[in-house]
Amino acid sequence: MARDPRYDPLFEPLAIGPVTAPNRFYQVPHCSGMGYQRPQMLAAMRGVKAEGGWGVVCTEYCSIHASSDETPYPSASLRDDDDVHNLRLMTEAVHAQGALAGVELWYGGHTSANLYSREISLDVASLPNQATLGIPGQSQAMAGTDIREFRDYHRDAARRALAADFDIVYVYGNHYYLLHNFLNPYFNQREDEYGGVAENRVRLLREVIEDVAEIVAGRCAVAVRYSIPTRFDKDPRGLIECFRHIAELPDLWDITVDDYNQEMGSSRFTAEAENQATVARLKRLTSKPVVAVGRFTSPDTMLSQINSGTQDFIGAARPSIADPFLPAKIDQGRLEDIRECIGCNVCYAHNSLGVPIRCTQNPGMGEEWRRGWHPETIETRHADESVLVVGSGPAGLEAARALGQRGYRVILAEAREELGGRINLESRLPGLAQYARVRDWRLGQLRRMANVDIYPHNRIDADTVFELESQHVVIATGARWRSDGVGGWNNSPFIGWEQDEVIGVEQILNGYLPEGRVVIYDDDHYYLGTAIALLLAANGNPVTLVSPAESIARWSHFTEEHLPTMKALIEAGVELLGARGLAGFERGVVQLECVFSGNESQLAADRLIPISARVADDALWLALDRRRDEFEQRGLLSLQRIGDCRAPGIVAAAVYAGHKAARELGREKDEFKRDRVIV
C-alpha cells in the first residue's frame, strides 16, 4: 500500500543545525528502566524504533556526574569511557536504520538522592531533597567554584557524546532539575549575577548551552528541553521572559509544560494534543525548530501540528512505545494497523519501580534483546496444527491474534455475545474509554485473518473441547471480583458480606447504579475504585472511598495519576478515608478498623461496594486438567491457562501472557537473557 499524499509533510526532511532529520517523527528522550545497567536492552529497544521509521531517536536522561545519581532508577549515564562504549551500541543501532541519535545530558540537583554514590547534590540553593526515594537532607548551594565545575561537567559530557557518535546533544533545562531551578524565582533567590532579573536567572543555562555548542560545533546539533506554563497568559515564574533571552541560541527546542502531571498525563485526565495551543504561542518567539509531545496517536492530529506551524517535529514517547512502527505504518498506508497508545502510563510505572518499561498495547516492549521479540514479526507456525482459545479478554485476544499471525488455524470461543472481556466493562467507566483500544485493535487484526474463526456466545465445556479436536488448547477465561472483602488487608470475609446491600463490583460494571449513600472499600489500590467513585458521584450518590492503605489508590503514584485522581475525587465531593480496614456491615452501618491502632469506627451507608481480590474463572481449566490422560489419548498436544484465569493482574500482564503463550507454542520457551556486567 502507498502512503496517502496528505501525509507527505510528515516525511519531509528538516535540518537541525549541522544535521538533518530524515522526517518529522521524533522520539524524544524518555525513561526506559534500562539505562546504564542494561545497555544491550536499551540499544535494541531504541534500534527497533529507528527501524520503525522514527527519524530521531533519543536516550533517556544521562547522568553526567556521580552527584546526579537516581538509584534505584537506572537512568542512562555518560560519565566515563565505559559509558561511551555502552551508548555507542545505541547510536550504531539507530544509525543502521538511517535515523539520528540524541543524548540528553542530565544533572538532577535536589531531585537526586545519590543513594548509591553518596555524593552531595549541587543546586541553586540548599534545597530539601525531592527524590521519590529520598532522604532527609538538602543540596549544596552552588558557589562560583561549583558553577565552574558544573559547566565542566557538561563540557566533558559533550566530548563523550561526540565519542559515542551522537548527532544531537541535549541541555536539560526543565522538570525541576538544577538548570530549571535557576530559572525559577521560587527556588532562585540568589543575590549574585545568577539571581534576580530574568537575564540573570537564565545566565547559567545560557552558559551551558554555549559551552556544549563550542564542544560539538559543526558535528552535533544542540537541543534544549524547556518547560513553559500550561497557561501562556500566566507566567508568575518568568519562564517565557527567560526564554526570550535565549530563543535563538540552540539548534532545536524540545518544549514541555511545567506541570508533569499534565505533560505525562494519563488519558483519564489529559486529551491528545492538549498542550499544543501553548506550544504554538511559544514557537512564535523563535525561528528554531520546535518539537513537543502530545501523546499523538492520530495521523491527522500529527499532520495538523505540522501544517499549522504549531511545531516542526512530532514528539513522542508513549506512542513510540505502544507502536515503534507507527511512522512506517503511516508511510505504507496501513493506518488500521497502528497500535494506539491507551495512555495508561504502565510504561512509566515500571521505570518508577526501577525495572524495564513495558506496555499494555505492545507486549514486546523491553523484550527486543532479552527475548528476541520484534514488535511486528513473529516466527511462523511450527506445524500445520490448530489452536482453540477459550475466552476473549485481553489475554485471549492477544493469544489468538499472535497465533493467527504465526499461521495456525485458530478457533476463538467466547461465552458472551460481545468480545473483549474485562475491557468491555472497565472502558465504560469515567476516563477509561481509551482502554477499549486494547480490544479494538486486536479485533481489527483478527477479523482480517482467514485462518481465525471467531465464535461469540459459545460457552465451551470440557466435552466440547474434545469434540473440536484442536491440537492445542489455551484457556483464557478471566477472573471475577470477590464481594466478601478478602484481599491484601484481610484474608477472611468481613461480617455481613452476604447482605443484599453489599453490591459486587460486577454489578456496577454491568451498569447497575445503586441509590443512597455509598461506601466503596478499595483494597485494589489502582484505578477501579476511584473510577467507580467518580461514576457514582456523577450519579448523585454521596460517596465515601475507604482504603486500608494510607494513600488512596496508592499504585497510581507510579502511573503519575495520583494527583489528578485525588483532585477529581475532591472536586466531585467524594469523602476520602485511608488506613481503615473493613471489618463488617450491618443495618446500614459499615464497621471499620484502624490499620495501625485497631481502633474501631463506623460509617453510615445504604450500600457497600467492596473491591478487593479476584478469583480466577478456572472451572474449565480444572475440568480439563483432571482429564489429562484422556486429553493425551485423543492426541491433543498441549493445554495451558493464561492471563487472569491463571493469576489475576493488570491488563498489561494479561496481554503479555497471551503474547508469550502464542510465541512459545510448539517451541522451546524463549531464553530469558540477563543484561548484566560480567567481571
Residue 64: exposure state from Cβ atoms within 10 A (0-12, 13-18, ≥19): buried
- Apex 562 CA angle, 614 and 254, nearest 5: 125
Beta carbons within 8 Å of 269's beta carbon, 6+ residues apart:
261, 431, 561, 564, 565, 568
Dist. CA 190–CA 123, nearest whole Å? 11
Q: How far is CA 327 from the centre of its chain?
A: 19
Q: Report the alpha-carbon distance of residue 103 to residue 92 in Å, rounded.
A: 13
Q: Which residue has the cell 489429562?
A: 628
Contact predicate 305/34, CB 8 Å: no
Rounded Cα distance between 158 and 169, Å, is 7
Report how far residue 29's alpha carbon sits from residue 57's, in angstroms, rounded to the nearest whole number.
8
Distance CA 477, CA 645 (A): 5
What are the two backbone dihedrals, phi and then psi, of residue 6, each rounded to the nearest 5 degrees?
A: -55, -30
Q: List the catalytic residue out of 177, 194, 408, 527.
A: 177
- Beta bridge partners of residue 609, listed in sequence order: 520
**Is there a contact between 296 and 316 (Cβ–Cβ < 8 Å)?**
yes
Residue 61, SS3 per DSSP:
strand
Contacts of 131 (CB under 8 A, 6+ apart): 70, 108, 111, 112, 113, 115
Maximum CA pair distance of the chain? 85
Q: Is 177 a catalytic residue?
A: yes
State how far Cα 433 lies from the chain centre.
17
- 459 CB contacts (<8 Å, ≥6 apart)? 415
* Residue 109 · residue 173 · CB < 8 Å: no
CA distance 21 to 16: 7
* Residue 137, CA distances (Å) to 208, 471, 581 in order: 27, 62, 34
Give the separation between CA 50 and CA 62, rounded to whole angstroms.
20
- Bridge partner residues of 390 (DSSP): 413, 475
- Residues with active-site annotation: 177
